[in-house]
Amino acid sequence: MTTTAISLLGVPTDIGAGARGASMGPEALRVAGLQAVLESHGLAVEDRGNLQGPGNPWQPPVAGYRHLPEVLAWNTALHDAVLAELRRERLPIVLGGDHCLGLGSISAVARHCRETGRTLRVLWLDAHADFNTAELTPSGNIHGMPVACLCGYGPPTLTGLGGHTPAITPDAVRQIGIRSVDPGEKRLVHEAGLEVFDMRYIDEMGMRHTLEQALKGVDDHTHLHVSFDVDFLDPEIAPGVGTTVPGGPTYREAQLCMEMIADTGRLASLDVMELNPALDVRNRTAMLAVDLIESLFGKSTLMRKK
Ligand SMILES: [Mn+2]
């Protein structure tokens, strides 16, 4: 096996969120020791520092969107940075930042997959479907819209970010951990045919079966992208996010989820989003996120031989 070369890309913005603070996420993940933890597994890691972009003007929505020009600027910068890393055959880890950045990250991944003939599979780990549109959400916060935008529902500047509209089709996506979806959003999720493994499904079927289903069809030609919204986790263990929803996966469930993804050997890009140090307690959510990322990259609880 060749050593995976990893690039850390900090994206310090909360431009798409309804609460300030996710802009401090990249530094909190660094303080929690992300790079050293990955290096302890023999991985070559380069920290590319932080991308630059506009400040947060904290304005109300305009024509249904909050901060659309600023969201576009940050996501364009991120798209270009992720694409550059992928073209160098490196594995980008995006340190968010709010989840509107899934747009820049995944549109670049999708573009790279088109260029290289890979099949894209996106695992969207989140409490929310992030499938809102300006018509459906009163807040206009774009961190609730990235999956819809990626699938072609949204303003043309965002849906066309990766040079192809839509950037992805819904059948590339598996959503896991969902437990908070607005009524109109739910209709659109069904209409688009998005495959969702919500908490009810996980409760009834277990995390193991859920991941077996979500990873079905992944093969040697698959580029596996994980978009990990830290609010995926139960707020009891992960308080440091802006939009907590009770009833999320436990520590063990989350760890199993990450280990099963690692077992595929196909993980090729990762987002870590919505970590909000302003709401955290002694950086424990950042440390938990780093612990779970470690599982994604091979820390195993397995005592038995593979
Ligand atoms: Mn999200």
What is the CATH superfamily name and number for domain 5-296?
Ureohydrolase domain (3.40.800.10)
pLDDT in tens, 180-204: 999 999 999 999 999 999 999 999 9
Instruction: Give the residue-averaged pLDDT of 239-256.
Output: 98
What separation in Å is there between the alpha carbon of 56 and the centre of ligand 1?
19
Name the pLDDT band for 305 (thresholds 50, 70, 90): low
Longest dimension (CA), the chain: 57
Q: How far apart are CA 107 and CA 117, in angstroms?
A: 15
Say whether pLDDT at 301 is over 90.
Answer: no
pLDDT for residue 161: 96
What separation in Å is there between the alpha carbon of 79 and the centre of ligand 1?
18
143 belongs to the catalytic site: yes
What separation in Å is there between the alpha carbon of 130 and the centre of ligand 1?
6
Domain ranges, ordered by start, for the chain: 5-296
Instruction: Give the residue-averaged pLDDT of 11-30.
Output: 98
* DSSP per-residue string spanning the chain: -PPPEEEEEEE---TT-SSS-GGGHHHHHHHTTHHHHHHTTT-EEEEEEE-----------BTTBSSHHHHHHHHHHHHHHHHHHHHTT-EEEEEES-GGGHHHHHHHHHHHHHHHTPEEEEEEE-SB-----TTT-SS--GGG-HHHHHTT-S-HHHHTTTSSSSSS-GGGEEEEEE-B--HHHHHHHHHHT-EEEEHHHHHHHHHHHHHHHHTTT--TTEEEEEEEEGGGS-TTT---BSS--SS---HHHHHHHHHHHHHHT-EEEEEEE-B-GGG-STTHHHHHHHHHHHHHTT-----S--
Residues 6+ apart with CB under 8 A from 67: 15, 16, 56, 57, 59, 142
What separation in Å is there between the alpha carbon of 143 and the centre of ligand 1?
6
Residue 13 half-sphere exposure, CB side, CA atoms within 13 Å?
29
What separation in Å is there between the alpha carbon of 306 and the centre of ligand 1?
34
14 belongs to the catalytic site: no
Tell me which amino acid residue 60 is: P
Q: Which of 85, 98, 126, 259 is catalytic?
A: 126
pLDDT in tens, 129-179: 999 999 998 899 999 999 999 999 999 999 999 999 999 999 999 999 999
What separation in Å is there between the alpha carbon of 3 and the centre of ligand 1?
30
Contact 217, 226 (CB under 8 A): no
231 belongs to the catalytic site: yes
What separation in Å is there between the alpha carbon of 38 and the centre of ligand 1?
24
pLDDT in tens, 39-70: 999 999 999 999 999 999 999 999 999 999 99
Choose among 258, 251, 292: nearest CA to 275: 292
CA distances from 106 to 63, 100, 159, 240, 285 (A): 25, 11, 11, 24, 24
β-sheet bridge partners, residue 222: 119
223 belongs to the catalytic site: no
Name the pLDDT band for 4 (thresholds 50, 70, 90): confident
Instruction: Give the residue-averaged pLDDT of 239-262.
Output: 98
Q: How far apart are CA 133 and CA 181, in angstroms?
A: 12
pLDDT in tens, 199-237: 999 999 999 999 999 999 999 999 999 999 999 999 999
89 belongs to the catalytic site: no
Q: How far apart are CA 250 and CA 169, in angstroms?
A: 30
pLDDT for residue 1: 42
Q: Which of 143, 225, 271, 294 is catalytic?
A: 143
Say whether pLDDT at 108 is over 80.
Answer: yes
What separation in Å is there between the alpha carbon of 230 and the centre of ligand 1?
8
Contact 279, 238 (CB under 8 A): no
What separation in Å is there between the alpha carbon of 101 and the centre of ligand 1?
10
Q: Which of 70, 185, 229, 294 is catalytic?
A: 229
Contact 55, 23 (CB under 8 A): no
Q: Which of 79, 99, 112, 223 is catalytic?
A: 99
Q: Which of 70, 185, 231, 234 is catalytic?
A: 231
80 belongs to the catalytic site: no
Say whether pLDDT at 2 is over 60.
Answer: no
Q: Percentage of the chain with pLDDT > 90? A: 95
What separation in Å is there between the alpha carbon of 14 and the centre of ligand 1?
12
Say whether pLDDT at 256 is over 50.
Answer: yes
Q: Percentage of the chain with pLDDT > 70? A: 97
128 belongs to the catalytic site: yes
190 belongs to the catalytic site: no
